[in-house]
Amino acid sequence: MTRRKKKLTPEQIAAKKKRREEYMTIFMNGKQKRIKRPPTIDGMDAEEFIRRNADPIWLHQNENEDDAVDKMHST
C-alpha cells in the first residue's frame, strides 16, 4: 500500500509562499541551490528600470553617461 500525502496546514502554505517569493532555485554543479532573488521593481531588474524610466539629465548626474547619450539619441 502507498502512503497518502499529508495536506499542508495554512501556516505551512504561507511559509512556502514566502520562501518562493524570497528565494529562487538554480542548478550549480548538477545540484539544486536556493539563492535570494535579485531585487526587482515592477518585475524588472533595478538597473533596467532606471535605464527605461530616468531622464538624460538624471542619468548624466548619476554617472550613467553612456545610457544618457543613448537616451538622447533615441528621442
Asked whether residue 64 is assigned to any structural domain, the reply reads yes
Residue 39 grid cell? 531585487
Instruction: Give the per-residue pLDDT at 70.
Output: 60
Asked whether residue 2 is assigned to any structural domain, the reply reads no
pLDDT in tens, 20-42: 999 999 999 999 999 998 888 88
Name the amino acid, one letter, at 71.
K
Structural domain count of the chain: 1
Asked whether residue 4 is assigned to any structural domain, the reply reads no
String of DSSP letters for 34-65: EEEPPPEETTEEHHHHHHHH--HHHHHHTT-H
Instruction: Give the per-residue pLDDT at 7.
Output: 93
Asked whether residue 3 is assigned to any structural domain, the reply reads no
Instruction: Give the per-residue pLDDT at 72.
Output: 54
pTM above 0.85, yes or no: no
Rg of the chain (C-alpha set)? 21
Residue 28: give the domain boundaries.
12-74
Asked whether residue 66 is assigned to any structural domain, the reply reads yes
Asked whether residue 7 is assigned to any structural domain, the reply reads no
Asked whether residue 33 is assigned to any structural domain, the reply reads yes
Instruction: Give the per-residue pLDDT at 34.
Output: 93
Residue 29 grid cell? 554543479
